[in-house]
A and B are shown apart, each in its own frame.
Chain A
Amino acid sequence: MFRDVSNISGASTVGNSGAEGPWLTFGDGAAMQLSGAWTVANARRIDGLIRDMRVEPGAVQQLDLGAVSAFDTTGAWLLLKLADRLSITLPDGMTGAQHGVPELVSRVSSARSEPAEQPPGDNPFVAMLIRLGGGTVAAMREVGSMIGFMGAVVEAFVGVVRRPRRLRLTATVHHMEQAGLNALPIVGLISFLVGIVLAFQGAAQLQRFGAEIFVVNLIGVSMLREIGILLTAIVVAGRSGSSYAAQLGSMKVNEEVDALRALGLDTIEVLVLPRVLALFLMMVPLALFANLMGLIGGGLMAWVALDIAPALYVDRLAAAVTLPTLLVGLIKAPFFGALVGLVGCYEGLKTQGSADSLGRQTTIAVVQGIFIVIVVDAAFSIFFNVIGF
């Protein structure tokens, strides 16, 4: 009675590996014949055969490797698994092995590590509480460390104010160009388009009351007080916040930040302050430009859709908008800029030596930057409301 284990388990011998099975054959004698290529290409099938075979322990005492055509570490691993299942000790229990196979088997056998013990899992409810608690603590720590970072930047800023020669002027101007001047086209375009949308939507609603002319007030007040500056901050967070995080993050990965520290330089003063200061200074002109472009866009739409001539538009605008309206918007700009810069630098410096971490930090920098800007904007709104501005 000669049984082919592979047929019992229903495994077929299809494949393109060249060497054909059946890999395992088991006769009446005490020896199991191994054949074919015991390599990684056939590992799935051989593994399945070993798992599914129905052989009494002790029925097989010898493994005959005489017909094995190829053998690699995967094959050796499977051979050891097979021997384990049959309670055979290797290399005593194998015969007919080709030159080099016993060495390979003993090498693999000695490298075989104890399977790591899985720690018993907590029950799902407790696990959820643990996650929740861990997340809360981490979030609190995060808030604390970000406030600490802001403090360090303010401290560096005060130091620079006291001794202006310590300001990295070249770097600051460079970042002012990168983050400020070069952002003009995109900020202007977006603001212009939003002005058009605002005029169009406002007109559609106000027309029903015959109050089209108040579209000018709508555009003027909302653009100058909120939308212009908010749009600018969001574009800058996406543009410069992300690039700060990526720059500082890759410097961190390259150990450039450590090198700076080793040279006795202050990272905050050299890397962070010029960037934050650049945004702090450039946000006002950027926001002013955004306001202007928004008003132009709105005016254009008012002219085309509502027949409000430019001269009338400017006239109404002057009546609707006062200097405080403009200032309420612009006064927020430097804060928004500094916050976006701070968050970008902070998240960049938190990068932990891998490409994955760099990507994550850059995303966080943008999302958090926009989030904080909107939260602070809401706070400003309440504040101005309370003081009656």
Chain B
Amino acid sequence: MTDQARESSPASDDVIIRVAGLTTRFGPQVVHEDLDLEVFRGEVLGVVGGSGTGKSVLMQTIIGLNRAAAGTIEVFGEELAKLEPAARRAVEQRWGVLFQDGALFSSLTVAENVEAPMREHADLPRKLMDELAGLKIAMVGLPHNACAKFPSELSGGMRKRAGLARALALDPEIVFLDEPTAGLDPVGAADFDILIRELSDTLGLTVVMITHDLDSLYAICDRVAVLADRKVLTVAPVAELEKHPHPWLQSYFHGPRARAARQARQ
């Protein structure tokens, strides 16, 4: 990936996701309070935060799996909560989601998993669907013989790739990734990072990526949003976050693992 592409991709006037004043709670437990976040078209946004700061909840709330207690969420300039069901489904087809362990349908083969969104939402002839599923599976770097396998026959890394292929099935404009590199070996994780960056560059994808992986932050994220104290603490490129005075960020970026990741980038 080139630095040039990274600098040119975020166009600051083109906001694709706008979260404003978001509050979410489960019973008495408040997860987010008056949280604001903007995601720009074409960028790779990392979301970090300690355990229990609501990173996954934020993602689930944006894609509509959770109901927000207050606040607005606009995606593609449309306020999701106010859309009719049909219009909402149309918006949902324009994003793809990779859940933590792939969340593949265990009763379907990998190819059928990738075809599932196409079958439900796109009107495609059978043969073209097979071809496109094969293409997506190849694009995420899985061997051709993976198509006919069931998720239980795949390794964790392959399941994530297959999950990504399914997320990309309908050529979405945004992909949400929940800890894409967690549980992968370092080489596999680095490959996955490169894959995400390449896809983002060639397809013009906007990527929202929850991660703990410092290597991913340094390698592919244009900006990083930090969740702490029920809010987005700050959104900035990694280099700026290193200087942030917040104690969690200090220990996050100045621990031994961060030093190694930083050195690896230099």
Contacts and interface: CB of A to CB of B under 8 A. Distances in A.
Interface residues of B, number: 29
A162 to B, nearest CB: 39
A9 interface: no
Nearest to B198: A107
B106 A73 contact: no
Contacts of A116: 144-145, 147
A130 interface: no
A153 B152 CA distance: 28
Contact of A73 (B124, B152, B203): B203
Given A72-B203, A73-B168, A41 B135 contact: no
A77 B152 contact: no
A353 B106 contact: yes
Contacts of B122: 40-41, 43
B132 A352 contact: no
Interface string A327-353: 000000000000000000000000011
Interface of chain B: mostly helix, strand, loop or mixed:
helix
A114 B144 CA distance: 8
B203 A44 contact: no
A300 B110 CA distance: 60
Contacts of A48: 125
A28 interface: no
B237 to A, nearest CB: 23
Contacts of A356: 106-107
A353 B106 CA distance: 8
Contact of B125 (A47, A107, A112, A353): A47
A355 B168 CA distance: 24
Given A43-B128, A72-B171, A354-B107, A107 B139 contact: yes
Contacts of A108: 135, 139
A247 interface: no
A202 B204 CA distance: 79
A354 B106 contact: yes
Interface in A60-79: 72-74, 77
Given A44-B123, A77-B132, A39 B171 contact: yes
Nearest to B129: A43
A352 B139 CA distance: 29
B12 interface: no
Contacts of A107: 139, 198, 202
A104 interface: yes
Interface of B: 106-107, 118, 122-125, 128, 131-132, 134-136, 138-139, 144-145, 147, 150-152, 168, 170-171, 198, 201-204
A352 B107 CA distance: 11
Nearest to B143: A113
Contact of B171 (A73, A111, A115, A353): A73
A14 to B, nearest CB: 12
Nearest to B201: A103
B178 to A, nearest CB: 20
A356 B104 CA distance: 12
27 contacts: A40-B122, A40-B132, A43-B124, A43-B128, A44-B124, A47-B124, A48-B125, A72-B171, A72-B203, A73-B132, A73-B135, A73-B139, A77-B131, A77-B135, A103-B201, A104-B202, A107-B139, A107-B198, A108-B135, A112-B135, A113-B135, A116-B145, A116-B147, A353-B106, A354-B150, A355-B107, A356-B107
Contacts of A40: 118, 122, 124, 132, 170-171
Contacts, number: 73
A119 interface: no
For the complex of A and B, the 9 pairs showing the least CB-CB separation, nearest first, are A354-B106, A356-B107, A72-B171, A353-B152, A111-B138, A111-B139, A113-B144, A113-B138, A355-B106
Interface string A13-42: 000000000000000000000000001110
Given A40-B122, A40-B171, A72-B171, A112 B138 contact: yes
Contacts of A113: 134-135, 138, 144
B139 A47 contact: no
B106 to A, nearest CB: 3
A252 B73 CA distance: 40
A100 interface: yes
B202 A354 contact: no
A77 B106 CA distance: 28
Given A40-B170, A44-B123, A113-B144, A73 B136 contact: yes
A107 B106 CA distance: 29
A47 B128 contact: yes
A48 B124 CA distance: 10
Contacts of A354: 106-107, 150-152
Contacts of A114: 144
Contacts of A41: 122
B135 A352 contact: no
Interface in A88-119: 100, 103-104, 107-108, 111-116
Given A116-B144, A354-B151, 12 more contacts: A40-B171, A43-B124, A44-B123, A47-B128, A48-B125, A73-B139, A73-B203, A77-B131, A103-B202, A108-B139, A354-B107, A355-B106
B41 to A, nearest CB: 13
B128 A44 contact: yes
A77 B168 CA distance: 14
A26 B146 CA distance: 39
B207 to A, nearest CB: 16
A322 to B, nearest CB: 54
